[in-house]
Amino acid sequence: MLNKLTWPILTAPILAVSVGISLTACKILPTPSAENGGNTPAFNADKMVGDVWAAKMVPYLQQKAGPFPEVHALAKADPAAAGAKYSNPKKQANSPWTFAVRLEGKIVAANTQSRAATMDVDADGDGKADARVQIGPAMRGTALRDSLDFIQFNDFTNQIDFAQFGKAFNTYADKTMLSKLPRDALEGRSVRVVGAYVMGNGQDLPLVTPAEVEIGPKP
């Protein structure tokens, strides 16, 4: 039996500024506060992520995600076709594709000494790593936010709120799931992940940010 760790559901937008987003695509407006007499509640990225996580984000990724080998092969051959099928077609035009994937395989290497801990996963059985999974607590990027088609940059008052929303997904993932994962003797264990990764330059392993993780017992 796999030790399954899933994440609670939330219902709200996402926080982190994607590389290359033009400032002109977003209205730069002051956030209302008690000091300026505004009646709008203060922006709370963590609450927004909590509201959308289990209710909308996880079901969305479960439905949208394709098998990692299939998604990655198509992404390299035809990024637009892969984006239409496995990514957010409403993304900003100058932003890279972010693909929803199901990654299954064996852990062939793990770095758990760093705060930016990772697991390298062999998805095709050849003994070599095909993807790297972030397991925190420190995580790069905003792949979870950027994979969702129901969250848009223009939904936010400014780019700072959008950036905070993206980062809040990583924080929530660590707090509710990743911090509970085993950290010792990971090599050789089976793993299943539902998550997202950003199209890279092809030189580094695809870096998957998980929304769900299952790690098998020690071999």
Count: domains in the chain: 1
- Comparing CA positions, the residue from 57, 184, 166, 169 lying closest to residue 111 is 184
Residue 35 covered by a domain: no
Mean pLDDT within 184-193: 97
In a domain? residue 180 = yes
* Residue 199 falls inside a structural domain: yes
Q: Is the pLDDT of residue 33 over 60?
A: no
Residue 123 lies in a domain: yes
pLDDT over 90 at 47, yes or no: yes
Instruction: State which residues form the domain around 185.
Output: 11-28+44-215
Q: Going by DSSP bridges, is the β-strand pair 190-198/207-215 parallel, antiparallel, or unpaired?
A: antiparallel
3-class SS of residue 85:
helix
What residues form DSSP beta bridges with 118?
111, 134
**Tens of pLDDT along 196-210?**
999 887 678 999 999
In a domain, 6, yes or no: no
Q: Has residue 157 been placed in a domain?
A: yes
Confidence of residue 40 (pLDDT cuts 50, 70, 90): low
CATH code: domain of residue 95? 2.40.50.140
Lowest mean pLDDT, pick from 33-42, 78-87, 102-111, 154-163: 33-42
4 falls within a domain: no
- The answer to whether residue 39 is domain-embedded is no
The answer, yes or no, to whether residue 30 has pLDDT greater than 70, is: no
To which residue do tokens 């924080």 refer?
171
Name the strand (E) or helix (H) holding 195: strand 190-198
CB-side exposure of 212: number of CA atoms within 13 Å? 23
pLDDT digits (tens, 9 = 90+) for 57-67: 999 999 999 99
Per the CB < 8 A criterion, the answer to whether 46 and 168 are in contact is: yes
